[in-house]
Structure 1
């Protein structure tokens, strides 16, 4: 048995809570993962995991072993990195998760500059607007907007996203131009946006001086994807607040019109978020620094 490999397998099973997810994240057959755990338990003469058809839980012995093993593996990786040129030439597979519109309009157009700078890096770019669990989903870092909900994670602020309230000309022709946010509740429709399995709606915020109005209804269509949200607004389903970076080309060509320009939606902070390892790996540090440079170059991503 490769003891270090078996320890890595055990840690991934605990982190993901599943033999199947651990196998997928490690690129191993599920049978291999099962055999590694069985061999490790036999070597230690201790039961580390309780397994049922529905879930995997950690025994008291397993919890104690996990705590020390995870720390030992981090130290082992640090030692290897310090004995190579990894800091100067980061290499390996980097797993990133980014929101749909940031991926399409910011990251992908510039990603070649990152790959040219670090030719030994391989990037797995997950694109979604769902909340990602960095440990169970085996993701190295994410780029997300808003307030950091999980205070156990580390976040580096790299910019902010400005918003603009818009609608399609066809919608305005049919329903008229609102003069106040309260008009939307009385005579208009919103295009909603929701997030998470609880389908929590994001409010539309309207700020003017000291006056603040939050609206989550009325809407006829609500989506959970940034590109679908833009398509719904372009399709005339209602008024909504879109990322200005994304909406500007459509405002310039007349496919969208600005609504209530004197009422502003506050920008949201953008962060690169990663797990709180004692030593940030060279590949994650390289991407975090590159993303910060990328956002700093674009005034649209630095608006306050």
Structure 2
């Protein structure tokens, strides 16, 4: 027996007063309605209706069951309405953790468009590159560049970031502009970013045609934050393998000058990760969809074909 449909049939019989009218409302054969009510009575172990040839009335148990069943159906309708409204007008607090470069250069500057579209979502941002325990810290989702190593999370790639070799014009004037990546091995200072997972510098690997070169310069400066490396480069202290979206404004102003532009590095994937849950909240879902749209429409963050691992 489908108890839900049996309960619906019982309510309609009580409200209409006859099996015939209830069957018309439910668009079912009268015999099907009768079977549903009979099965419900057997399931409950009590008689719900008094039947005569002319009308149907509730027993004492039937009257009590009708009131509770009607309330349950009302609550269910309200719940479904709430869920439907949540999909079209999601609301509530959303906790998101973002890496510093993407937060400052890409996501937060574009945030007014999201707020205008979803004014009832209150977002609490954590800006960091550290590992985040989503359950312990009650975080809905995280955005990360690079490979997601936590296999317990669902990771959805939303874009990719590219990098470019650059330095100040004054630095190039002092040290000379390279014509090949190997030129950076001698007479140059290369600024490297330390990977928090390995505590070693990220490799700088570039490719042109079929030639693939890793810059191995050991003379340089290091920092555990890629934005700090960019700042060091802007100070004229060396060559930085900068994120394109972070360096663009400085390249356009002339503060930085790119070299070896025909040598490209593998795009680094950007993913949003969250706890595996088939019932991802509406507010998290619309934020992830908005991020996907944002990255797809940004030339500096659109998905690349190749993936760099650290």
Instruction: Name the TM-score, length of structure 2 as normaliser.
Output: 0.67
Query: Deviations for 1:77-120, whole angstroms, at most 9, x for unmatched residues?
Result: xxx97562323322221111112121112111121221222222
Query: Deviations for 1:139-159, whole angstroms, at most 9, x for unmatched residues?
Result: 211111222222221122222
Q: CA deviation at 1:235?
A: 0.9
Secondary structure, aligned partner of 1:119: coil
Change (3 A) 1:236 1:112: same
Tell me the equivalent position of 1:257: 257
Q: Retained in 2: the 8 A contact 1:93–1:124?
A: yes
The CA RMSD over aligned residues, in Å, is 2.1
Q: Retained in 1: the 8 A contact 2:158–2:303?
A: no
Structure 2, unaligned runs of 5 or more: 1-77, 305-310
Tell me the equivalent position of 2:170: 170
Cα distance between partner residues in 2 of 1:162 and 1:220: 22
Q: Retained in 2: the 8 A contact 1:192–1:219?
A: no
Change (3 A) 1:173 1:136: farther
Tell me the equivalent position of 1:230: 230
Change (3 A) 1:243 1:197: closer
Tell me the equivalent position of 1:186: 186
Q: Retained in 2: the 8 A contact 1:162–1:268?
A: yes
Query: Deviations for 1:13-34, whole angstroms, at most 9, x for unmatched residues?
Result: xxxxxxxxxxxxxxxxxxxxxx
Q: Retained in 2: the 8 A contact 1:171–1:238?
A: yes
Write the mapping of 1:16-27 to structure 2, written as runs, cut at 5 A.
none
Tell me the equivalent position of 2:115: 115
Tell me the equivalent position of 1:284: 284
Tell me the equivalent position of 1:50: none
Tell me the equivalent position of 1:153: 153
Query: Deviations for 1:205-263, whole angstroms, at most 9, x for unmatched residues?
Result: 11112222223542432112232121111112211211112212211221111122232
Q: Does structure 1 residue 99 correspond to structure 2 residue 99?
A: yes
Query: Deviations for 1:180-210, whole angstroms, at most 9, x for unmatched residues?
Result: 2222222211111013265232111111122
Q: CA deviation at 1:178?
A: 2.0
Q: Retained in 2: the 8 A contact 1:158–1:271?
A: yes
Q: Retained in 2: the 8 A contact 1:204–1:241?
A: yes
Secondary structure, aligned partner of 2:116: helix
Runs of 4+ with >3 A deviation: 80-83
Tell me the equivalent position of 2:86: 86
Tell me the equivalent position of 2:48: none
Q: Retained in 1: the 8 A contact 2:179–2:260?
A: yes
Q: CA deviation at 1:303?
A: 5.7
Structure 1, unaligned runs of 5 or more: 1-79
Cα distance between partner residues in 1 of 2:238 and 2:150: 33
Change (3 A) 1:82 1:146: farther
Cα distance between partner residues in 1 of 2:108 and 2:130: 19
Cα distance between partner residues in 1 of 2:240 and 2:79: 48
Change (3 A) 1:86 1:303: closer
Q: Retained in 2: the 8 A contact 1:207–1:265?
A: yes
Paired residues in the alignment total: 225
Write the mapping of 1:179-218 to structure 2, written as runs, cut at 5 A.
179-196=179-196, 198-215=198-215, 217-218=217-218
Tell me the equivalent position of 1:244: 244
Secondary structure, aligned partner of 1:125: strand
Cα distance between partner residues in 1 of 2:139 and 2:213: 37
Cα distance between partner residues in 2 of 1:197 and 1:271: 17
Write the mapping of 1:67-78 to structure 2, written as runs, cut at 5 A.
none
